[in-house]
Structure 1
Amino acid sequence: MAHLRSRRRLGLAVPLVLSLAASLGPLPTAVSAAPLAEPAAPAAQAPTLAYVVNTRTDRRTVESVRKAIAEAGGTVVVTHGRIGVIVVHSANPGFAEAMRAVRGVESAGATRTAPLTPAGSTDEGPVQVLTKQQAAKTAGAAKAGGEPLEADQWNLRAIGADRAAGIDPGSARVTVAVIDNGVDDTHPDLAPNFSAAQSANCAGGKADTRAGAWRPYSPAIGHGTHVAGEIAAPRNGVGIAGVAPGVKVSAINVSDPVNGLYYPESVVCAFMFAADHGVEITNNSYYVDPWLYNCVDEPDQRAIVDAVDRAQSYAQRKGTLHVASSGNSNHDLDSDALVDASSPDDSTPVERTVDPHECLDVPTQLPGVVTVGATGVRNVKSYYSSYGYGVVDVAAPGGDRLYQIPDTPSRNGRILSTLPDGKYGYLQGTSMAAPHAAGVAALLKSRYPHATPARLRALLKAQADNPGCPESYDPNGDGTQDAVCEGGERRNGFYGAGIVDALDAVD
């Protein structure tokens, strides 16, 4: 089952990943002067796993490594030569170890702990769907000039997005790609702003651009469609409105069709596709499976970090800003140790204690990625939102169904947005916070079309409003300090630079 941010939580080639090397130290370059020995034939019952092999980027090295892959019993799925990432399938249990000994290979590892399986279908569990009766009640409270269901969108008013739309709804020349489990582009509240030319299905590591390939595998899978509506549902007299109702959204489906997980090779494909198709901003409301935190002292996990970072860094260099959710575990990502009891999530989880400075939540903790925490209607950190001084960049409405109840027709503290088959419904999570920040980033990109990703990050932080750390954080009122906020009004662990402000972004 997909680990989306709204559910449970939510030598290196130069200069490709120098950003990582600065914080993690250089990845070791394995060198072997001797040729590879012929691999033993894998046992008949050996499972086929997927791998990433990360190499130097010169053509001669890439081709040499491809030959070594075949000799080690691997089959190349796709080669991203510009970043030196090769996606491989192999049933040789010693494949990764063998590849780490190949000249020019800088890291290599399995991207999953369970074997590849035939295609199937999955869903992400129940979503609170808006009933006809609830919709009628909300529509009865609609204001002149507003969208029919906007009375329930406390989140738009919290960041001034309702007023910002009257000044600048955003430019159709700006596209936000929703890297997720698919978007139903036939939804009447998404179709007008959808960019099919910038959409694909990247599950498995290769981009499929056939018409509709980017859609969810079933109508029950609503996460990506919900995210897309939060970003750019148009003001067209139908349903809801997005934060940036004038920009475009596209969909890059990275969800495995069998278990719904987001494997590294799929995410690498998504970042490369977005970069090569002119996407200005990506929204990433997930973590890369199967590890909640990828520890760089473990070879397989180190290879995952390396591969995804190469891809997202490539996209940044091409002008794409990445916005990602911080997670729904209420973890302090700046602490010395965290307990991860959910990894690996594609087989049998084993509880482990990790250092979040060395074991990274990917992609949100990669260099240059905007990390977004969640707030509720009272502009206070949502009870589930992960946080951390120097980790969270900004905060945005993600909803809080328990402790921050809005004065709206539904009195629902979660976020109302689009769902497949023309429906609407409520979700909460840092999954919902990230698209609010991505929407504001799209407004800023519309206003400053030549802004680089670094400049856009700075602008996003500059327009944010910071409430500062609360004196105490006890969301349920039981006298327990559930999280500790470090920092001041300019920068702190709960809100980073502050809560995004759409009105300030356009005014």
Structure 2
Amino acid sequence: MAHLRPRRRLALAVPVALSLTASLGFLPTAAQATPRAQSTAQAAEDSYAYLVNTRTDPYTIKSVKAAINAAGGSVVVSYDRIGVIVVHSTDLDFARKIRTVRGVQSAGASRTSPVRSAQTTDQGAVQYLSKAEAAKLAKSSTAGEEPLEADQWDLRAIGADKAAEINPGSRKVTVAVIDTGVDDTHPDIAPNFSAAQSANCVSGKADSSYGAWRPVNDGHHYHGTHVAGEIAAARNGIGVAGVAPGVQVASITVAQPDANSLFFPESVVCAFVFAADHGVEVTNNSYYVDPWLYNCMDDPDQRAIVDAVNRAQLYAQRKGTLNVASAGNSNDDLDSHALVDGSSPDDSTPVNRTVDPHECFDVPTQLPGVVTVSATGVKGVKSYYSSYGYGVVDVAAPGGDKYQIPDTPSKNGRILSTLPNDSYGFLQGTSMASPHVAAVAALLKSTHPWATPAQLQALLKAEAVNPGCPAGPYDGDGDGVVDATCVGGKRVNGFYGFGIVNALQAVQ
């Protein structure tokens, strides 16, 4: 990647040389990171998931697999080309044992609860658009607009409405939504959906059978469908429009099928590899890898998670895929030296810990080469919830903000998009900002078909519009308290990186 500024990001390569230094107030110990202790009878019937990362030569992989079997593990899937093996074992001491095996570079538990136990990053509950509201809104649309487009302030904020008149994007370009699944039967998504590039990776092994990519229809797994509509909802006279309504969108499902919708690392590894092997040009990653909000490099389990996911996303980059990810909704300064994480691990019992984001990483957003996206509201100001950080955030995009009220029929500052079962609704979050950037990247790829991922990222930054740091104290929610401090200048800063992306510039 062409670095246009200093990066404070995880510097990893494959094979990985990991820094184990950390000046932290508290970090979880290895014992706290491994699966929770249980009774002997319970442990005997529970299977836990592990990641074993090795050198990639065939001899090493063969010998490590033999060692896995000898240590009581069962190989679920092996991604030999990146040296990542997904393993199930009932032995709570499996990771410690396998780390001593020659050729193993890192290994650890991918979760702290059993595999048989089955969170998305939008900020607040979804607000559904009723049929009556939709019918009323449609009366506000003008000639050439989609029926609900009057409420899509986000399209106009980045020039996507005008861009569509010049170049709506090429059908040779696909954005894969790595998420909770996409309802490809939605009339706004169906015209642009690529089934051939879609799969279900929940188990860690890709299932590309027909319909496997669809979300569980339980009212909880709407997130991926909303993201997909933001990217590529067709301009077909129905509902809303996407930022890149001419490109294709695929679904790679990684969320567990229960109400918590957790995104475990083995599922995400599978997703990056599948996307790369199926010719996907851009992936959108509106999540963080569970169960740790921040993965600390001095913990062997969390280190293995970072290693495995990084190998997979770097593999995708080498195959020509640009990976775009949301910065998070904690209003955290990712360039600080002390953040409090009270949410991890989120698959069992969270503990309060103080972490240094220079040593403990939000995955995949802080991995090298990944485009990190912060969120803005209708006023072009950082959204109150959006995480930020000088040297971490690359670009910004509309993600919605309930405190920034647009002059639209609904006066709703969130993002309107598609939902399962032919529905529409509003969400806000960096989850909504990231797909705007993924879509603009797809427009750039349509305009510059030979551009590499590094070149696409450079173009995103070069064509972004930077509002600069706020002139006064930043009070995102209007309660009179300063909520964040912006560091940097007009060209690049911690709130917006190189600026808010511009769809119109992307097609010109």
Quote the residue 2:323 is aligned against: 322
Deviations 1:286-333 (A, max 9, x none): 000000000010000000000000000000000000000000000000
Counterparts of 2:322 and 2:14, CA distance in 1: 16
**Matching residue's letter, 1:62:** I
Quote the residue 2:126 is aligned against: 127
Counterparts of 1:284 and 1:485, CA distance in 2: 25
SS in 2 for 1:265: helix
Quote the residue 1:397 is aligned against: 398
Quote the residue 1:252 is aligned against: 252
SS in 1 for 2:203: coil
Quote the residue 1:16 is aligned against: 14
Q: Does residue 169 of structure 2 align to residue 175 of structure 1?
A: no
Shift of 1:171: 0.3
Counterparts of 1:17 and 1:342, CA distance in 2: 31
Shift of 1:387: 0.1
Measured on the aligned residues, the alpha-carbon RMSD in Å equals 1.7
Counterparts of 1:217 and 1:332, CA distance in 2: 34
Counterparts of 1:116 and 1:294, CA distance in 2: 20
SS in 2 for 1:44: helix
- Alpha carbons 1:17, 1:309 under 8 Å: kept: no
Shift of 1:203: 0.2
Quote the residue 2:33 is aligned against: none
Quote the residue 1:156 is aligned against: 155
Quote the residue 1:450 is aligned against: 450
Shift of 1:252: 0.1
- Alpha carbons 2:125, 2:427 under 8 Å: kept: no
Quote the residue 2:185 is aligned against: 186
Shift of 1:219: 4.9
**Matching residue's letter, 1:344:** P
Deviations 1:109-145 (A, max 9, x none): 00000112166xxxx9952110112112211110101
**Matching residue's letter, 1:179:** I
Counterparts of 2:154 and 2:206, CA distance in 1: 34
Counterparts of 1:230 and 1:68, CA distance in 2: 46
Q: TM-score, normalised by structure 1?
A: 0.91
Structure 2 alignment gaps of length 5 or more: 1-11, 22-38
Quote the residue 1:228 is aligned against: 228
- Alpha carbons 2:148, 2:240 under 8 Å: kept: yes
- Alpha carbons 1:16, 1:314 under 8 Å: kept: no
Counterparts of 2:282 and 2:207, CA distance in 1: 20
Q: Does residue 42 of structure 2 align to residue 45 of structure 1?
A: yes
Structure 1 alignment gaps of length 5 or more: 1-13, 26-41
Quote the residue 1:351 is aligned against: 352
Deviations 1:15-61 (A, max 9, x none): 6256xx48778xxxxxxxxxxxxxxxx94321321000000000000
- Alpha carbons 2:466, 2:496 under 8 Å: kept: yes
Counterparts of 2:339 and 2:243, CA distance in 1: 34
**Matching residue's letter, 1:307:** A
Matches within 5 A, 1:26-425: 43-46=40-43, 47-117=46-116, 126-220=125-219, 221-258=221-258, 259-401=260-402, 403-425=403-425
Counterparts of 1:311 and 1:241, CA distance in 2: 32
**Matching residue's letter, 2:70:** E
Shift of 1:337: 0.7
**Matching residue's letter, 1:45:** Q
Counterparts of 1:260 and 1:150, CA distance in 2: 30
Counterparts of 1:387 and 1:442, CA distance in 2: 24
SS in 2 for 1:418: strand
Could you say if the C-alpha distance between residues 68 and 43 of structure 1 is closer, same or farther in structure 2, counting changes exceeding 3 Å? farther
**Matching residue's letter, 1:290:** P
Quote the residue 2:29 is aligned against: none
Counterparts of 2:257 and 2:75, CA distance in 1: 20
Quote the residue 2:7 is aligned against: none
**Matching residue's letter, 1:69:** I
Could you say if the C-alpha distance between residues 251 and 406 of structure 1 is closer, same or farther in structure 2, counting changes exceeding 3 Å? same
Quote the residue 2:506 is aligned against: 505
- Alpha carbons 1:219, 1:420 under 8 Å: kept: no
- Alpha carbons 1:17, 1:313 under 8 Å: kept: no
Deviations 1:428-487 (A, max 9, x none): 000000000000000000001111100010001011000000022112333321100000
State the identity %.
73
Counterparts of 1:229 and 1:24, CA distance in 2: 41
Q: Which consecutive aligned stretches of 4+ in structure 1 deviate over 3 angstroms post-superposition? A: 21-25
SS in 2 for 1:242: coil
Counterparts of 2:441 and 2:212, CA distance in 1: 27
Quote the residue 1:4 is aligned against: none
**Matching residue's letter, 1:444:** L
Counterparts of 2:56 and 2:199, CA distance in 1: 25
Could you say if the C-alpha distance between residues 16 and 51 of structure 1 is closer, same or farther in structure 2, counting changes exceeding 3 Å? same
Quote the residue 1:10 is aligned against: none
- Alpha carbons 1:417, 1:425 under 8 Å: kept: yes
Moved more, 251-260 or 186-195: 251-260
- Alpha carbons 1:219, 1:421 under 8 Å: kept: no
- Alpha carbons 1:199, 1:209 under 8 Å: kept: yes
Counterparts of 2:115 and 2:431, CA distance in 1: 27
Quote the residue 1:34 is aligned against: none
Quote the residue 1:5 is aligned against: none
Could you say if the C-alpha distance between residues 118 and 380 of structure 1 is closer, same or farther in structure 2, counting changes exceeding 3 Å? closer
Counterparts of 1:226 and 1:81, CA distance in 2: 34
Shift of 1:93: 1.3
